[in-house]
Amino acid sequence: MKNDRKKEIINSLKEEMDQDQFSFDDLLSKKEKRKRKQEKKFEQKIIKELEIKKDKRRKKELEETKKLEKEKIKEALKKIETEPSHTSYDENAPKVTTIESSYVSRNYSKDRKQKKEVNTFTKILLILTAIGILVFWGFNIITSFDRVNHIYTIVCSSLISFGCFSLVIAGIMNNRNPRSIFNVLGASSLLSFAIINTLVLTNVLSFPTQAVLEDFSNRNVNEAMKWASENNVTLTPKYEYSDSIKKNYVITQSEKGEILAKNIKNLEVIVSDGPNYELEANLPDMVGWDVDRVIRKLKELNFDLEQLDIEFNFHEEKKDLLYEQSKIGKMKRNEKLTLKFSLGKEEDLKPVTLIDLKNKTKFDATLWLKRNGIKYEIEYKFDDEVEKGNVISTDPKKGTKIEQNKMTVTIYISKGAKIVAPDFEKMSLDEIIDWATKNNVNLNYESEYNVDIKAGDVIRVSVKKGTVIEEDTTITVVTSKGALKMIDFKNDLNKLRSFAEQHNIKLVETQEFNKNVELGKIIRVSHKPGDVIHTGESIEIVISKGNAVKIPNFIGMTESEARNACSNVGLDCTFSSVYSSKTKGTIIDQNKTVGSEVTKDSNIVLSVSAGKAPSYDGGSSSGGNWSGGGSSSGGSSSKPTPTPKPTPTPPVCNKTTLYIYPHFIVIDNPTATCNNVKSAYPGFKFSCNYINSDSGKKGQILNSKELNGLQINSCNTVTVNIKNN
């Protein structure tokens, strides 16, 4: 009550003061009021600035106090963690008030919680990174086997993966000591990766690489064969003529690009056999040309210079001009060609100094002698230094003054080095190639299947031990393809036939009925895919004739019933009318035995009774007696009823499928090939057409692909085209 009374008195006094103040303010002038108002604002501004400074100082002191308290608390906690078993009360330890301790502890716990959340996210990210590194490393190891730089890829991917993985593990771990070890290992691995790559890029260090297919274009086939031998690749060379690629040099190859040698089983190369001199060229009229221009043109047209007959004669034309040419227009490039050049007038021919002809080709040397009117003789001998076909020396020697009417020059042409063939049977293919390259001997490669000799090894060589041969001689090396194995023909009859024909294998085909195998398809073969086929061995094949059709008994049926029966069983029936004592319109005979099996759509001839044949008793010219053909009355003669003509029996056309087998072919004997085809299909008509062709060998059937599997019948003639040249 006392306090309430006190409050009432204070409030009343305040109200009185306010009323007095209001009365006082009313008495003041406007100028004074404005002045007091400004002073009041300034006073408030000063007070406000002082309060702000005071608040800043108080806040700073509070922050310093909190910071100091936190540091003291951290030191105390650290001391507790490091010395958990010797905790004691320290009188000198800083005293922390309850409020401050609670505030610091709360903020410290919050900081620890945030730190814990960041660490968990980081660890998850690092674990995912570690998994990614392992996947990267595994992928590089697996795919490195298909790369040329196999070892380099493994080393680099392992170093960079191990280095990164170690650093990731160090980041995951909390304990300092093991983490330091992983940091060192990771840094060392990455440093090693950088050093190795620097050494490789500067060609100081190199790693072994896997063999890769080379581009042998315009390179000697010996190089390709040696590479194939070293990398266990079966190389099959095929020779073709080429005007642009040197003889025995590779034109193209079946595989190109950076393919690993281990991924190649067979490699086919097309090898140049030099220009085809059998081809025709259009030779222009060169009369009036000088000799150098003529020779350039002949070389441009790839003429065989050895077949040129070049003459130099005294003539009114200017010296070295062509005045006569034996042929103009289209002609073979190896056809003999006579060219006559002018030596000028005889009185203008003067002695000439013999130039140095050594190392010139035979053609160039003899051409120089001819165009200078010098007579010459040629002798051949072996020489280890001068290339084959070039001049070794002359007699007389260079610099000699040659009087054309008195002297003859002898030129000695090199046969190359004298080469004695070694014992090739004791040499590997690589050794033979090295020997041939060293001695400038050309190798012609052939291959054949051989069960006893490993693929790639030499079977035989065309030159025997001790044979003396010249440089640039071509010898044939036959290598083994290994054992010939049965292909996976996948029930493709034509593919199997082509395989047999390609490898000259006798194919014995028989046919039998089979309700489960379609007509013309294979039932069984004597060899399974992958089986070795020995030399002289034949392949036996059984072909389905389809579901068998049994010949029913048509005798006694009417023609209509027989037609229905034929249709039901799938036979091609032909009907012929014949006179018979049997009921007219009934079947009285059939050309195939009842119960015998034939293929569907086989032809069968059924004989239909036409009734009894009319009989005629012969008589005089005045008439005669016909039986069954009408009657006569009153002795008068009547015109006899004509004998009905039976329906002609159509020819029986047997059908079959024609197959051309390899054993039909007799190379170099077209007539024997034709006879083999005819004897294999008796009762069928064949017309053998003998043709000259650029493809195939003499005696081969040119249209065998068209004939194989052809449905033929005995009423038609089949044309067989056989190569005759």
Residue 172 pLDDT greater than 80, yes or no = no
Q: What is the pLDDT of residues 424-474, one digit of tens each?
A: 888 988 899 899 988 888 888 888 888 888 888 899 999 999 999 988 888
DSSP letters spanning 269-325: EEEE----TTSEEEE---TT-BHHHHHHHHHHTT--GGGEEEEEEE-SSPTTBEEEE
What does each C-alpha distance from 705 to 309, 659, 721 come to in angstroms? 47, 10, 11
Is pLDDT larger for residue 531 or for residue 27?
531
Residue 49 pLDDT greater than 80, yes or no = no
CA distance 124 to 116: 13
User: For 616-620, which contacts have Cβ atoms below 8 Å and span 24 or more sequence positions?
Assistant: 616/640, 616/643
Q: What is the pLDDT of residues 177-187, one digit of tens each?
A: 666 788 888 88
The encoded tokens of residue 28 equal 């003041």
- Residue 4's pLDDT is 62
Q: Could you tell me how many helices (H) and strands (E) the chain has, helices first?
A: 13, 32
Residue 30 pLDDT greater than 80, yes or no = no
Average pLDDT, the chain: 82
Beta strands 522-525; 468-469: pairing state: unpaired
- Residue 618's pLDDT is 47
DSSP letters spanning 31-94: HHHHHHHHHHHHHHHHHHHHHHHHHHHHHHHHHHHHHHHHHHHHHHHHHHHH-GGG----TTSP
* DSSP at 232: T
Same topology between domain 221-272 and domain 549-613: yes
- Residue 200's pLDDT is 87
**The domain 653-725 is classified under which CATH number: 3.30.10, 1.10.3470, 2.40.50, 2.60.40?**
3.30.10
Helix (H/G/I), strand (E/B), else coil: 525: strand
**pLDDT range class, residue 14, cuts 50, 70, 90:** low
Lowest mean pLDDT among 285-289, 307-311, 591-595, 616-620: 616-620
Q: What is the pLDDT of residues 312-362, one digit of tens each?
A: 999 999 999 999 999 999 999 999 999 999 999 988 899 999 999 999 999
- Residue 646's pLDDT is 52
Residue 70 pLDDT greater than 90, yes or no = no
Residue 290 pLDDT greater than 80, yes or no = yes
- Residue 411's pLDDT is 96
Domain extents in the chain: 2-76, 111-201, 221-272, 419-480, 549-613, 653-725
**pLDDT range class, residue 121, cuts 50, 70, 90:** confident
**pLDDT range class, residue 6, cuts 50, 70, 90:** low
Identify the CA nearest to 533 among candidates 572, 565, 502, 571. 502
- Residue 107's pLDDT is 53
CA distance 393 to 402: 16
How many percent of the chain have pLDDT more than 70?
A: 84
- Residue 636's pLDDT is 38
Q: What is the mean pLDDT of residues 650-669?
A: 76
Tokens 């309430």, residue located: 4
Q: What is the mean pLDDT of residues 516-538?
A: 87
How many percent of the chain have pLDDT more than 90?
A: 27
What does each C-alpha distance from 582 to 585, 613, 645, 647 come to in angstroms? 9, 11, 18, 17
Contact 290, 320 (CB under 8 A): yes
The encoded tokens of residue 413 equal 């042409």
CA distance 569 to 592: 14
Q: What is the mean pLDDT of residues 59-85?
A: 73
Residue 307 pLDDT greater than 60, yes or no = yes
The encoded tokens of residue 409 equal 């020059």
- Residue 100's pLDDT is 47
Is pLDDT larger for residue 30 or for residue 69?
69
Angle at 540 between CA 539 and CA 541, to 5 degrees: 115
Q: What is the mean pLDDT of residues 653-661?
A: 79
Question: Is cis: bond before 178, omega within 30 of 0?
Answer: no
Q: Topology of domain 419-480, per CATH?
A: Trypsin Inhibitor V; Chain A (3.30.10)
User: For 710-713, which contacts have Cβ atoms below 8 Å and span 24 or more sequence positions?
Assistant: 710/657, 710/658, 711/655, 711/656, 711/657, 711/658, 712/655, 712/656, 712/657, 712/658, 712/681, 712/684, 713/653, 713/654, 713/655, 713/656, 713/684
**pLDDT range class, residue 59, cuts 50, 70, 90:** confident
Q: What is the pLDDT of residues 403-424, one digit of tens each?
A: 998 999 999 999 988 999 999 8
Identify the CA nearest to 472 among candidates 248, 685, 634. 248
Q: What is the pLDDT of residues 221-250, one digit of tens each?
A: 888 888 888 888 888 888 899 988 988 899
- Residue 98's pLDDT is 47
Q: What is the pLDDT of residues 126-163, one digit of tens each?
A: 888 889 888 989 988 888 888 888 888 899 989 989 88
Contact 392, 386 (CB under 8 A): yes
Lowest mean pLDDT among 24-33, 369-378, 514-523: 24-33
Q: What is the mean pLDDT of residues 514-522?
A: 85
Level-2 CATH architecture, domain 549-613:
2-Layer Sandwich (3.30)
CA distance 712 to 518: 19
CA distance 559 to 194: 99
- Residue 577's pLDDT is 85
Q: Return the CATH number of the domain spanning residue range 221-272.
A: 3.30.10.20
**Strand order, beta sheet including 587-590:** 572-578, 603-609, 587-590
Lowest mean pLDDT among 242-256, 310-324, 393-407, 643-657: 643-657
pTM over 0.75: no
Q: How many residues does the chain have?
A: 725
Q: What is the mean pLDDT of residues 650-670?
A: 77
What does each C-alpha distance from 167 to 115, 173, 194, 320 come to in angstroms? 21, 10, 16, 88
